[in-house]
Amino acid sequence: MVDGFRPKTLQEALEIRLKTDCLPIAGGTDLMVQKARGFALKPDFDKPLLFIGHLPELNKISIEKDQIHIGAGVLLTDLLNSDKIPEIFKEAVCLMASPPSRNLASVGGNICNASPAGDTLPHLYAVDTQLVLKSAKGERKVPIDQFITGPKRTDLVKDELLTKIIIPNRIFGVNYYRKVGQRKGMSLTKAAFQGMADIEQGKLTDVRIAFGSVAPTIVRSREIEKTMIGKSVEEIKEEIPEILAKYAPLIRPIDDARSSAAYRKKVCLRLLEDFLRKMSKEK
Amino acid sequence: MKIEFILNNEPQTIDVHPARRLLDILREDFKLTSVKEGCGEGECGACVVLMNGKAVNSCLVPAGNIVGKSIVTLESFKETKRYQMIESCFLEAGSVQCGFCTPGIVMATESLLSENPHPTDKEIKEALSGNLCRCTGYNMIFKGIHLAAERGQGLW
Amino acid sequence: MKDSISKPIQRVDGPAKISGEAKYLDDMHFENRLYAKTLRSERAKARIKSIRRPELPDGFFIVDKNDVPGVNRMRTVVSDHPIFAEDSVEYIGQPILLVVGPERETIYDILTHIVIDYEDIEPLVTLEDAEAKSTVFTDYHYDKGNPAKAFAEAATIIEDEFRTGYQEHVYLEPQGMAAEYRDGTMFVYGSMQCPFYAEGALTEALSWDAKQIRVIQTVTGGAFGGKEEFPSLTACQVAVASLKTKRPVILIYDRDEDIICSTKRHPSIVRYKAALNEENDVIALDIDALLDAGAYNGLSPVVLQRAIFSATGVYNFPHLNVRGRNFMTNKVPSGAYRGFGAPQTIFGTEMLMHNIAEKLDLDPLNYKMRHMLKRGDATCTGGQIRDIVKLPEIIDKVIAMSDYRKKYKSGEKYSGVGISLFLHGCGFTGNGEQMIKGKIILKKSGETVILKVSSTEMGQGAETVLRKIVAYSLDISLEQVKYESVDTGLIPDSGPTVASRTTMIVGGLLRQASLELKDRWDAAEDVEVSKSYKHPDFLEWDNDTFKGDAYPVYSWGANVVEVAIDPVTYEIDVKKIWAVYDVGMPIDETTLIGQMQGGIAQGIGWATIEVMETDHGRLLQKNLTDYKVPTSMDAPPIDCEFISQPYEFGPFGAKCAGELPFVGAPPAAAAAVSHALKIPITSIPLTPENLMEMDSHEN
């Protein structure tokens, strides 16, 4: 049995994926920890590894008209160093893990790991990210909120690889991101809030709101966002209690080793309120 | 899996399981004991080495990912002028106590200064945020790095 | 004229550590060695009905209670911890047996195939349950004056209760020991603070004379008390394994294993009743301190002693009734950690005084200052404060450095400033130093002087400081002073490297010996001078009634902490810390400041982000992903200064320093948070979760 494959091209990788039940690995910062067995022991993977982090096809960032195309293998550090990536997304990325881990970890890995606490996810959900999945047989595009189906579960088919992440090439007028961690550096997320909005002539023309780490998957409601579009900032300010009440049942955190459900829920609603107040001060 | 890579400026070829940790390859196969294991889960930075010039947690790197890469540990870095500057500044500033975090911090410092020779205090803090130190409280480490950046004109 | 001894020199172990050449235990090569890994209990309390072992491949062994030639107990203050579990287990993580062999993968495989049949017994898992069931290991009491009368006549009685949690040391180098039986001697190597403690434990476990045992300290990557008594357990286990297998055996802990099973700081509940007179001075305190000792008592009695002897902090209360109890719970045993019981009671007392002042609408600092000890006052145990207490000057300085008064008055919500006043008793508690009778040897050979002590360098700078004391006293270069390898076969027992005693006690003996050696410097042959500890005869201590001088002298300090609390998330930002200390005389300013800053960082961690909870005896935070210590991003800037009141019997006037900085930071941080949110604080850690809940209850 082969322990691992190191294909030279994406095509070669997809052909291996078609023929063999293998585990794709890019940076390995999640997988190497999940399968770790202790001091001086190698992690125990029960399938051959398919190394994909080095594939050139997965490592580009490009602007295609009104879209930004990000290769799934692009490192978190490279997102931070790229002038093509919106600042508000970088705010989330620069708080992830630590610099030595960001020098290894890929954005595609964070998505496919599909942790409820995945730090790239609130922003990617908020901007209606499209994911490109390729197999030797073809290609499909899936919205991120359909790709991630539950905690650590995705729609990835056995012969597929995530190859590209497509986000819109635009900047919002109002940008707000907060990660509440266990401490200031190298921390998992207790609760995360992403809020973005556009306001024209005192009226809300676009708003995106997403919460991380407080439900099995990222919390976002296009229905609630729609009810806010077209309203004036004064109306929004008055409706803050109702908006909070609408989001409250969607925020369903748990108690765990890092935080309590009660705190996580309260802090999400407080961050939402803070964002709405900030937004309602704009013109 | 046959793995070809460059280690401390010398080409190497090894045949190991592709999931074998870079940390163990360095410590056990090449006896480079400057690289330490503090936690095995990428949460302490004691295992930090340079991979293509950038700080990485060697406990998280599988062998399959070092193909064609250049890995540098303190064993070769300590022969450089940059190291001499870091060493003398760390000694003056009191940046070392028990020393276990120190090799990882030296490599993280080199990674920082080679990319940003004049970091602000904020940038130093952020660059070091993946290296735990339990002895010093960090301020004397920041001071050592700051001194090295100040005095190391032309080195980085 | 010579430079002051405080002038910093380059630390002697610096270059080897910075270059990565320093060899810690796992970096060392042992020819023909076997690896060992421990099988640990998965139950908080159970009877072991049977252990099913798989067939062992050639060259692999299981080592357990049956292989211990001597006493199957780890020798310490109370030798109750089995080296290998017998018929029952009392905490999750308790060591049951070792699997030993030449290759780790196979060891891992064997471990996963050992099946233990447990009969569960209901465990005791909280301090409250232990109090209800009265599972008391140790019960200490002392009093002073006439507390009953004072309470009867009190104008006001105020009660309060304070809680503190676990703390894990997170020394960057995990625990580890190796043993090699050769030439009739058991050599034991490892990361440790107290080689003679390990030697003592080994004599009992092996039933051998100490002459057949040599314990050698390897370069130690951090300890903080976590490697004081705990390594004795591992030492006995690897020694027994080496005896059985007839090969060297090395055991290095995984990080999460280390977190789960190594000793921790004692969680505490400390209850106070304060009797106030008409002027609102506290004239009597009734203190009841409860410590959670975990499943075995170990050295907890000594922690309990320091907790109760430090319980009145820097204050002079004429009447006292003080009780301390260690309770058994079925959790990981608690043990030594920087501060050693004092942080728990000093936190309580500082917050008691702060909260009383707030209740009375008085300035907390002024209120505290009304009660401060002065020279000539009696200590809480009826000993004497013989030296000038520099607290007034210390307070003036820290106020000036921090602008405390102005910041305290500004009273903006979510911004806060807090001050703490604290002390630390120097050296061993009570008659401990007399029992140890630490000894040092200086040997002159040509132009070289070899220093033979059992003090261990673990990062705190002991080797640098002790060599400096000798070099300075003899007026020779540091290079001429060598530090003998810390090997029990080569050095006398100067006592353990604990209790902040190294500079003052061991350094004090070295200074005396150096001055004597100086007079004999010109002798033709080698000269050897040895000195043993002599307790100053003006000190008195009754260990039965706990009356007299619990400590020969104290170091003092004041901290100011400034915080900003995020109004949305309740996360605490420690903006800055100002610290002023009297440690008698800094022997090396850089080394000393390093200790102060490191101690403050650990104290702030314990007070804010280091959360360690248990559920039915199981640790919820058991790896570094979940148990968070401060990172560089969490490090507050610290301004640190010294005001010295030299101690006549300390080398160059030096007193104690290592634990003092830990003690002061948590109550100052808590006072700052209390000031910021205008709520009373009675427990740590101060997590955003707790603060949000407390703030919503008050408002």
DSSP classification of residue B50: E
d(CA A14, CA A55): 12
- Position A182: which residue type? Q
Q: pTM of the prediction? A: 0.98
What is the interface size between A and C, counted as CB pairs within 8 Å? 66
How are strands ordered across the β-sheet holding C46-52?
C88-89, C46-52, C115-120
Instruction: Retrieve residue C224's tokens.
Output: 């903080």
- Position A164: which residue type? K
Task: For residue C137, give the H/E element and its range.
Answer: strand C136-144
| Nearest residue of B to residue C627, measured between CA atoms | B43
Burial degree of C332 (CB within 10 A; 0-12, 13-18, 19+): buried
Instruction: Retrieve residue B92's tokens.
Output: 């003056």
> Which of C222, C217, C299 lies closest to C258, judged by CA?
C222
> Which of B93, B38, B101, B95 lies closest to B74, judged by CA?
B101
Close Cβ partners of C549 (under 8 Å, ≥ 6 residues apart): C379, C381, C383, C384, C539, C540, C541
d(CA C111, CA B66): 31
pLDDT of residue A2: 81
C699 pLDDT higher than 70 = no
- Position C13: which residue type? D
d(CA C393, CA C521): 42
Nearest to C14 among B36, B91, B142 (CB): B91
> In whole numbers, what is the pLDDT of chain A averaged over residues?
97
Q: Is C218 left (phi over 0), alpha (psi -120 to 50) or beta?
A: beta
State mean pLDDT over C394-409: 98
Instruction: Retrieve residue C423's tokens.
Output: 């002390």
Q: What is the CATH number of domain B80-151?
A: 1.10.150.120
State mean pLDDT over C53-65: 98
Nearest to C689 among A37, A186, A259 (CB): A259
d(CA A36, CA C625): 13
State mean pLDDT over C175-192: 97
| Nearest residue of B to residue A33, measured between CA atoms | B41
- The CATH class of C432-532 is alpha beta
Instruction: Retrieve residue C495's tokens.
Output: 């006592």
Nearest to C22 among B92, B99, B101 (CB): B99
Do C511 and C472 form a contact (C-beta atoms < 8 A)? Answer: no
How many Å is the maximal CA-CA distance in chain A? 66
The listed CATH number (3.30.365.10, 3.60.21.10, 3.40.50.1950, 3.30.930.10) that belongs to domain C268-429+547-698: 3.30.365.10
Best of C104, C569, C602, C697 to disrupt the A interface (most A CBs within 10 Å) is C569
The answer, for C519 touching chain A at a CB cutoff of 8 Å, is no
Do A154 and A164 form a contact (C-beta atoms < 8 A)? Answer: no
Other C-beta atoms within 10 Å of C477: how many? Answer: 9
A283 pLDDT higher than 80 = no
Other C-beta atoms within 10 Å of A68: how many? Answer: 20
Same fold, C31-122+175-252 and C268-429+547-698: no
- Length reported for chain C: 699
User: What is the CATH superfamily name and number for domain A174-280?
Assistant: CO dehydrogenase flavoprotein, C-terminal domain (3.30.390.50)
Q: Note the pLDDT tens digit of each residue in C533-583.
A: 999 999 999 999 999 999 999 999 999 999 999 999 999 999 999 999 999
The answer, for A262 touching chain C at a CB cutoff of 8 Å, is yes
Do C688 and C569 form a contact (C-beta atoms < 8 A)? Answer: yes
Nearest to C689 among A39, A183, A263 (CB): A263
- Kindly list the domain boundaries of chain B, sorted by start residue: 2-76, 80-151
Q: Does domain C31-122+175-252 have CATH number 3.90.1170.50?
A: yes
Burial degree of C485 (CB within 10 A; 0-12, 13-18, 19+): exposed
Do B125 and A117 form a contact (C-beta atoms < 8 A)? Answer: no
> Which of C541, C563, C567 lies closest to C552, judged by CA?
C541
State mean pLDDT over C341-363: 98
The answer, for B108 touching chain A at a CB cutoff of 8 Å, is yes
Q: Note the pLDDT tens digit of each residue in C267-278.
A: 999 999 999 999
Best of C7, C9, C18, C602 to disrupt the B interface (most B CBs within 10 Å) is C18
Phi, psi of C242 (to 5 degrees): -70, -35
d(CA B60, CA C103): 22
User: What is the CATH superfamily name and number for domain B2-76?
Assistant: Beta-grasp domain (3.10.20.30)
The answer, for C102 touching chain A at a CB cutoff of 8 Å, is no
Percent of chain A with pLDDT over 70: 100
- Three-state SS for C64-100 is CHHHCCCCCECCCCCCCCECCCCCEECCCCCEEEEEE
Contact C19 B99 (CB under 8 A): no
DSSP classification of residue A189: E
d(CA C469, CA C455): 14
Contact B48 A100 (CB under 8 A): yes
Do C60 and C110 form a contact (C-beta atoms < 8 A)? Answer: yes
Q: Tell me the C-alpha to C-alpha distance, in Å, between residue A153 and each of A31, A221, C589.
A: 14, 20, 56
State mean pLDDT over C240-256: 97
d(CA A229, CA B68): 52
Do B35 and B29 form a contact (C-beta atoms < 8 A)? Answer: no
> What is the CA C198 to chain-centroid distance, rounded?
17
Could you give the residue range(s) of every CATH 3.30.465.10 domain in chain A? 4-168
d(CA C455, CA A163): 59
pLDDT of residue C311: 98
What is the interface size between B and C, counted as CB pairs within 8 Å? 163
* CA dihedral (A98, A101, A103, A108) positive or negative: negative
d(CA C167, CA C173): 17
pLDDT-derived band at C64, boundaries 50, 70, 90: very high
Can you state the percent helix, strand and coil of chain B, rounding each to 5?
40, 15, 40
The answer, for C607 touching chain A at a CB cutoff of 8 Å, is no
pLDDT of residue C698: 66
Contact C598 B134 (CB under 8 A): yes
d(CA C71, CA C90): 19
Chains touching chain A, criterion 3+ CB pairs below 8 Å:
B, C
Close Cβ partners of B100 (under 8 Å, ≥ 6 residues apart): B36, B38, B46, C24, C171, C172, C173, C221, C222
Do C248 and C33 form a contact (C-beta atoms < 8 A)? Answer: yes
C293 CB-side CA count, 13 A:
29
C2 pLDDT higher than 90 = no
Nearest to B19 among A33, A43, A101 (CB): A43
Q: Note the pLDDT tens digit of each residue in C221-243.
A: 999 999 999 999 999 999 999 99
In the block, tokens 């090969």 appear at: C247
pLDDT of residue A238: 97
Q: Note the pLDDT tens digit of each residue in A87-103.
A: 999 999 999 999 999 99
In the block, tokens 């276990």 appear at: B100
In the block, tokens 């033709």 appear at: C524
Q: Which CATH fold would you assign to the domain A4-168?
A: 3.30.465
d(CA C658, CA C665): 14
State mean pLDDT over C359-386: 97
The answer, for C569 touching chain A at a CB cutoff of 8 Å, is yes
pLDDT-derived band at C280, boundaries 50, 70, 90: very high
A29 vs B contacts (CB less than 8 Å): 42, 57, 60
- Kindly list the domain boundaries of chain C, sorted by start residue: 31-122+175-252, 268-429+547-698, 432-532
Q: Is B81 left (phi over 0), alpha (psi -120 to 50) or beta?
A: alpha
Contact C609 A182 (CB under 8 A): yes
Phi, psi of C93 (to 5 degrees): 105, -10
d(CA C310, CA A199): 61
Q: Note the pLDDT tens digit of each residue in B74-124.
A: 999 999 999 999 999 999 999 999 999 999 999 999 999 999 999 999 999
C440 pLDDT higher than 60 = yes
C1 pLDDT higher than 60 = no
CA-based nearest distance C310→chain B, Å: 25
d(CA C361, CA C356): 9
> In whole numbers, what is the pLDDT of chain C averaged over residues?
97
Q: Tell me the C-alpha to C-alpha distance, in Å, between residue C214 and each of C195, C239, C296, C412, C427.
A: 9, 11, 27, 61, 26
State mean pLDDT over A41-69: 97
pLDDT of residue A1: 64
Nearest to A257 among C570, C621, C692 (CB): C621
Q: Tell me the C-alpha to C-alpha distance, in Å, between residue C257 and each of C118, C299, C334.
A: 21, 21, 16
Instruction: Retrieve residue C137's tokens.
Output: 């290991």
How many Å is the maximal CA-CA distance in chain C? 80
